[in-house]
Structure 1
Amino acid sequence: MKKLAVIAFILFIGIQSPQAQVKVSPGLRGGLNLSTLTNIDDNSSKADFYVGGLLNIKFNKYFSLQPEITYSRQGDEGREYFGNGYNYRSVNYELNYLTLGAVAKFNIGGKGFHILGGPSLDLKISDNYINSNPEGFDFAIVGGVGYTLPNGLTFEARLKQGLIDIYGYDGIDYDNNNNSYYDDVILNQVFQIGISYTFKVK
């Protein structure tokens, strides 16, 4: 019985020790969005911003998990044709989301440089579309690189790729003979450049 108690105690200490090294630090993040929509002719990227908060959960010097909540202004710059169809004006189409995400960060060699990746759920807050009604949510995959200074300031570049067509289209269309074929879907795509800061918690 005593041996079992000693073994249980050793296992308990072994489990608790790694947990004691976990550091949780809140922070803020923000930066530039260069967003567009895929598979649309005559459109271009729109410059806007993102801003939000984060919670960096550092398990060791090599790995951390970072839940995030972000206000992200997306969309693209399209064309609105009028008159004889040859005249047009540029229009900024807005798709503004509240993003709930979590990225895994891997520090190369335990130093400041890191790669990151993870999912995000985007809940649409507003849009300025007049003749259509984009979907109320999106699901995206995020990947990127960054560098964190010893003072907690981080510089990052990310690519965020939406996975759901903004009009709810599944890519399957039908011709006049009712034969199905795959057509292009319209997806959010965002390149982000920004900074974040994590506060040191004692």
Structure 2
Amino acid sequence: MKKITAFAFVLFFGIFVSKAQVTFNPGFRAGLSLSTISETHADYRPDFYIGAFGQIDLSKRYSLQPEINYIRQGSNNVARNFIDPNTQAERVVYQDLQISYLSFGLINKLRFGQGLQVQFGPALDVHLDDNLVIRKTYNDLSFVTGVAYKMPSGLGFEIRFKKGLFDVLDSDYYYNNSNNDYFFGDYNTNVNFQIGVSYSFDTK
């Protein structure tokens, strides 16, 4: 009886795996990166991202997509409010901040209809360079979500929102508590929108 049960289990598992038809499709993505740093009341910084991915189709509706991306983020017109050590006068200067990351993502993709996709998953952002004078952390952990439309040719169009979890900026350097006209929060995280295209190669 046990042998029959074991044989039935192996047979069932084999049929399941054969029906799954797991496929792997490599590709690349690139586009516009619009970023800011939260609680700085600054402008969005336009820049770019570029990367590569491998789409693992586990079922008709679900794929797992490991990817690696180079992303330039930051924030423009960040107000630094400080006391000039030479004149002891209160001054405000505006600076454009730039941070570059190598981002390793693990994106879940749910497919609906002919080409519509819903994407979400975590990403580990490894610091490459920046022009910040003082920072609280180098690397970041973020969550990614978005939508995409993939055409039969492999060309796709995507919009993503990426939110960092770590405090990346030392707000004490940019904000002097004596001036409430330039409010600067203490929890300054990366906020990033991505608008771009992707292309995946059919390896079937």
Q: TM-score range by the shorter chain?
A: 0.7 to 0.9
Give 1:42-191 correspondences, 5 Å limit: 43-77=42-76, 78-79=78-79, 85=90, 88=93, 90-109=94-113, 111-130=114-133, 132-167=134-169, 184-191=186-193
After the TM superposition, which segments of 4 or more aligned residues of structure 1 sit over 3 Å from their partners?
A: 1-6, 79-88
What SS does the corresponding residue of 1:25 show, helix, strand or coil? strand
Which letter maps to 1:114?
Q
Distance 1:113 1:190, change over 3 A: same
1:39 is paired with a residue of what secondary structure? coil
Preserved CA contact (<8 Å) 2:79 2:92: no
Backbone CA RMSD of aligned residues: 2.3
Q: Which amino acid aligns with 1:15?
A: F
Which amino acid letter does the alignment assign opposite residue 101 of structure 1? G
Shift in Å, 1:5 = 6.5
What amino acid maps onto 2:125 in structure 1? D
- In structure 2, give the amino acid aligned to 1:193: I
Residues 89-144 of structure 1 show CA distances to partners (whole Å, capped at 9, x for unaligned) of x43211100000011111113x20111110000010000113x1341110101111
Question: Cα offset for 1:153?
Answer: 0.7
Residues in 1 aligned to 2:155 and 2:198: alpha-carbon distance in whole angstroms? 6
Structure 1 residue 13: deviation in Å?
2.0
Q: Aligned-pair distance for 1:17?
A: 1.3
Secondary structure of the residue that 2:39 maps to in structure 1? coil
Q: CA deviation at 1:12?
A: 3.7
TM-score, L = length of structure 2? 0.81
Give TM-score scaled by structure 1 length.
Answer: 0.82
Cα distance in 2 between the residues matched to 1:196 and 1:134 = 33
2:19 equivalent to 1:18 = yes
- What is the identity, as a one-letter code, of the residue corresponding to 2:70? Y
Aligned-pair identity in percent equals: 37
Equivalence for 2:195: 193
Structure 2: gaps spanning 5 or more residues: 172-184
Instruction: Name the stretch that deviates more: 148-157 or 9-18.
Output: 9-18
